[in-house]
Amino acid sequence: MEGGNEVVIEHHYADRHNIKIGQKIILYVNGKSMDFTVSGICFSPEYIYLISPEGWIEEDFGIFFVPKNIINSSVNTFYIKVSEHNKADEIASNLSTFFMSRGIGAVVKPASKTFTHTAFREDLSAMNSLANLFSFLLLGISAFIIFVVLSRIIEKRRHEIGALRAMGFTKWDIFSHYLGFSSISAVVGVILSIPMASWLLSFIMNYWGATVLKIPHRFLSPELNLSYIFYAGVFAIVFSIVGAFVPSYRAASFTPSEAMRQYIAGRKGARIMSKSLISPEKKLIFRDIFGHRARGISTVMVIALILSLGLSFALSMSSYETGIKERFDKNEVWNIKVSFNTPQNSSVLQALGQNLGAEHIEPYRECGAQISYKNKSVIIQLIELNKNTKMRRFSLISGNVDPDGVLVSGDVAHRLGLKVGSRVSLSTPQGVYEKNVSGIIREFGSSEGYVFKNFIISTGVLLKLEKNEEIQADSMLQNISFIRSWVRKDELKNGWLNLMDEYYGMVYAMDMVTMTLVLLVAALFSFISLMERGWELIVLKSMGFSNGKILGSILWESLILSLISMIFGIPLGMHLANLFNLTFENLISPPPVVMGFNVVITRCLLIIGNVLLTAYIVMCFALKRNIAEKLRRAFETM
């Protein structure tokens, strides 16, 4: 800016409204409309999270840099650059002492404690925790799949193992063979994962950095950390060995006579099979479910684990969306929040309310504050409300609303280790004072604190208006000189919901991973089942049963096992969703996980459909090719 009426716009707002350099825009400053020329569009790490002065993400909010003389000659915020970064906290403490000695209430924030820096740091930390949790879950599922597949392969090759044992092969030979098979599979998987990881890294960085946080592409430089690849490879091999250990040990423990023994179904399955009133294809269904318990249990467990993985992330995001709606629809009673340039008394507030046709008005004050407990401190947005406020309701984890205490959001309580009754110190622009924590807020929110008082003058007002009067109030408020800013409740609600919508891209990515896993597992299990049941299908075909009836029995079996998997997968998914929410508890008060029926039903139907479709394709191919060929050969040998 070279002076005059020039403005530099932070790029979030400029990109959203397609504003270009040299364009003329109108800004309302202190109640007056002023013409500006856009001289630049900037990006600043301070505004990665575009937070309004009220500490919220608004639906349409922008940062504009104008010459100082355009506003006034005084300042309410200034920045200091220190030469030694490790002394930033010490300098901040000295500045606080200096201002207090001059009777000036000031909140000194080191860069590491500003909301944007804290939010970005905690968001990255939560994402890292989420990635670690997700990785261990995937590795655990992989180990279980290896256990199931290897157990079935060994069961299928009992005779071969018996022959090898009879030929003099030792237990160690058999054990090391199957353990080596599992380890080689893991090594091949790790090698194949490197190019896939590089592509996924670039995709996630572009989506999360450029799409969600709106960071310009030139500041994003994906770098594949080979040390992570190494540790991931080690963990993958360890989990594969763990998954293969029991089946390999079991195979090595077979004596030749045990290996030659035929598999006998459970008694329950045998009793069902003996019922003469049940058709052969139904007997096949019941025998596979109740007789081959290992096969049925393994199928149920794997599908349940995969369902819980996909369901957990969707339920987590759904709980945040529900928490946002519940807060603004139920707990925030006001419609418009107005901030003043200078403190105003109650008569001005009453006149403002009458001019706008407000049903109810209440004074409030909002400011940045530092809350300290023992040797810890964080920066919060402190809101002062009327002692008998009717504009705000609270949902609490513990405690109650005490006019003489302070309410803190759950993330603040977690970071500082606060409990109801904890004595905290609050450093505000009005001074430093102490209060007891009277309650911890459970609802959606971040870095918030609430105190209650009787107002003589205030720096803001909460307005309750009729819905159709909000637009008219906007046009009236922009012409009042002592009003600094205002925001409608719907704008705050939509701002957070829009951010959640962008994070939903991660949910859809998780759904794709889940569907891919289900597809692979269903295809693998169908193929193994086909190998195990080949002669059963040949017998049914020779008895005159059509492909349609045989296929129907197999699909019914897949459907029943999938439905049983849902019973275990849904509660497990809700538990995992709660763990996912807890990874963000330093950043946002985690809302309770609720059963979103649309979310659950959609993912269950997707998994059931995927399982049935995969089983249908595999069995159709087998019935037309493999089974038909075996049946032809059987008749040729007669």
pLDDT digits (tens, 9 = 90+) for 384-393: 999 989 999 9
Q: Which sequence spans correspond to the domains of the chain?
A: 6-79, 114-263, 336-464
Residue pair 302/296 in contact by the 8 Å Cβ criterion: no
Rounded to 5 degrees, what are φ and ψ at 187? -65, -45
Tell me what pLDDT residue 269 has: 47
HEC assignment per residue over 318-374: HHHHHHHHHHHHHHECCCEEEEEEEEEEHHHHHHHHHHHCCCEEEEEEEEEEEEEEC
CB proximity list for 513: less than 8 A, separation 6 or greater? 309, 310
Pairing of strands 448-453, 406-409: antiparallel
Give the 3-state secondary structure of residue 175. Answer: helix
pTM, entire model: 0.73
Q: How many other C-beta atoms lie within 10 A of the C-beta of residue 630?
A: 15
Distance CA 547, CA 527 (A): 17
Region 484-512: mean pLDDT is 79
Please, what sign has the CA dihedral across residues 486, 491, 496, 499? Answer: negative
pLDDT greater than 90 at residue 406: yes
Output the six-digit token pair for 399: 């405690």
The span from the CA of 577 to the CA of 369, in Å, is 32
pLDDT score at 31: 65
Whole-number pLDDT of residue 536 = 67
| Residues 407, 592: Cα–Cα separation, whole Å | 19
Which residue, among 195, 53, 57, 202, has the nearest Cα to 123 in the 3D structure?
57
Residue 81 falls in which region: left (phi positive, over 0), alpha (psi -120 to 50) or beta: beta
Lookup: tokens for 541: 């075909």
Q: Mean pLDDT across the stretch 373-390? A: 90
Residue 272 has pLDDT above 50, yes or no: no
Given a cut of 70, whether residue 535 has pLDDT beyond it is no
Q: Quick one: which of 409, 405, 410, 433 has its CA closest to 421? A: 405
Instruction: State yes or no: pLDDT of 127 exceeds 70.
Output: yes
**What DSSP designation does 330 have?**
I
In the numeric block, which tokens belong to residue 590? 């985690």
pLDDT for residue 534 is more than 70: no
* pLDDT value of position 197: 77
277-299 confidence digits (pLDDT tens): 556 556 666 666 665 666 677 77
Of 29 and 39, which is predicted with more confidence?
A: 39
Both tokens of 28, joined, read 């309302």
How many residues belong to the chain?
A: 638
Please tell me what DSSP assigns to residue 412.
H
Per-residue pLDDT tens digits for 339-353? 888 889 989 888 888
Q: What is the DSSP letter of 57?
A: -
* 628 or 131, greater pLDDT: 131
Q: How many CB atoms lie within 10 A of CB 313?
A: 25
Convert the pLDDT of each residue in 109-122 to its tens digit: 777 777 677 777 77
Distance CA 95, CA 297 (A): 66
Q: How confident is the model at residue 450 (pLDDT cuts 50, 70, 90)?
A: very high
Tokens representing residue 509 in the block: 């990515």
442 and 397 Cβ atoms separated by less than 8 Å: yes
Residue 179 burial by Cβ neighbours in a 10 Å radius (0-12, 13-18, 19+): buried
User: What pLDDT shows up at residue 11?
Assistant: 86
User: What DSSP element (H or E) covers 448?
Assistant: strand 448-453
Burial of 47 from C-beta contacts in 10 A (0-12 / 13-18 / 19+): middle
Question: C-alpha distances in angstroms, 89 versus 94, 96, 113, 545?
Answer: 9, 11, 10, 81
Comparing C-alpha atoms, which of 27, 106, 37, 10 is closest to residue 71?
Answer: 27
pLDDT value for 121: 75
Q: Per-residue b/e over 76-111, b at no fewer than 16 CB within 10 Å?
A: eeeeeeeeeeeebeeebeeebeebeeeeeebbbbbb
Six-digit token string for 111: 């860069």
Per the model's pLDDT, the better-predicted residue between 520 and 12 turns out to be 12
Q: Nearest-CA neighbor of 127 among 71, 72, 209, 182?
A: 209
- Is residue 568 classed exposed, middle or buried when 0-12, 13-18 and 19+ CB atoms within 10 A define those classes? middle
**Does an H or E element contain 224, and which?**
none
Q: Cα separation of 520 and 628, whole Å?
A: 25
Instruction: Collect all residues with Cβ–Cβ distance below 8 Å to 582 and sequence separation of at least 6.
Output: 590
pLDDT tens sequence across 147-171? 777 777 777 777 777 777 778 888 8
Asked if the model's pLDDT at residue 273 lies above 50, the reply is: no
Looking at residue 54, its pLDDT comes to 60
What percentage of residues in the chain have a pLDDT greater than 90?
12
Compute the distance between CA of residue 126 and CA of residue 320 in angstroms, rounded to an integer.
Answer: 15
As a whole number, the mean pLDDT across the chain is 79
Range 469-488 average pLDDT: 81
DSSP string, 603-634: HHHHHHHHHHHHHHHHHHHHHHTHHHHHHHHH
